[in-house]
Amino acid sequence: MTSGYELGVVLRECLHAAIAAPSVHNTQPWLFRVWPGGVDVYADRRRALPVIDPCGRELLISAGAATFNLRVAILAHGRVPVHELRPDPHQPDLVARVGIGPYTAVPETARRLAQAIPHRRTNRRPFSDLPVPTDVLADLADAAAVEGATLVVADPEVRHAVLGLVRTAENRWRADPAYWRELATWTTDRPDRRDGVPPAAFGPWSALEAIPLRDFGLVQPARGRHAADFEDSPTIAVLYTTGDSADQWIRAGQALERVLLTATVRGLATTPMTQPLEIPELRDLLTDSAGGNVAQAILRLGYGPPGTPSPRRRVDECLIGPGNPA
């Protein structure tokens, strides 16, 4: 067992990795309570998005992604992470309990995933037309499977249908004043802000909206974003879980982050395109009712320039403790 000081340093580094996880609108809806043997991960409902995420599905996916980063960081420090999802039925916002187990040799996969954490970014820029190799796509599918999810790469016909649903959802959200207000809350340009999506990360317009990315500049037209030609045939993948409970949403978040980090290791750029999953009737069109597989995330994959980093809150801002009540 390391000394208290050394363990504190390790835990801080692991928490720093956890808060680098992706989250919808970069809301960072997580809190952490440190205890002598590990960390409890909580959903922070104060950072919910009631318009696009009224049931908290994407919030729990985000918290699941943070939980995965925490697990990987602990393992990369040579300790076994022992995690349990939703361990206390009397605390519905307790997403996971991650214990710090015995010493272990660091697996090469864990080392690479941990190294990828600070480099994983949502990329809203054009990708090249270079196809993603089959073996890389297989790696991503394997990554999802390790966490109990299924990643399906769309064939050309399905890709066209999925992009059509994304476009329909994006147009529907643009016509909703409540969506505008919610989006404005998380796209305010303040130099001291450590959450939300900064203008530098909005990305350019997709010429003719060939790739229907979420328009984070919708409420800031004065930004004058330029139009750009995006790839003609993007690689699109859909992440599924078996079932649609809160537990499955957390598992989906862990699977999503393993996929995103694996993509980063393999040199891929990634973009979540989840607008239709926020509208029940459109999400139903992506659900495999016969197989019980429910769509939890849509990803655009490819090769592109480095993405723009989004800000992150300090570790101390995310801690529950004597001076930081939940």
Our count of domains for the chain comes to 2
Residue 190 pLDDT: 84
Pair (65, 199) in one structural domain: no
Residue 176 domain-assigned?
yes
Pair (116, 145) in one structural domain: no
Pair (39, 110) in one structural domain: yes
Q: pLDDT tens digits, residue range 89-136?
A: 999 999 999 999 999 999 999 999 999 999 999 999 999 999 999 999
Residue 315 domain-assigned?
no
pTM above 0.85, yes or no: yes
CA distances in angstroms from 250 to 58, 85, 152, 192, listed in the order given: 9, 8, 19, 30
Pair (204, 286) in one structural domain: yes
Q: pLDDT tens digits, residue range 33-85?
A: 999 999 999 999 999 999 999 999 999 999 999 999 999 999 999 999 999 99
What CATH number does the domain containing 212 carry?
Answer: 3.40.109.10
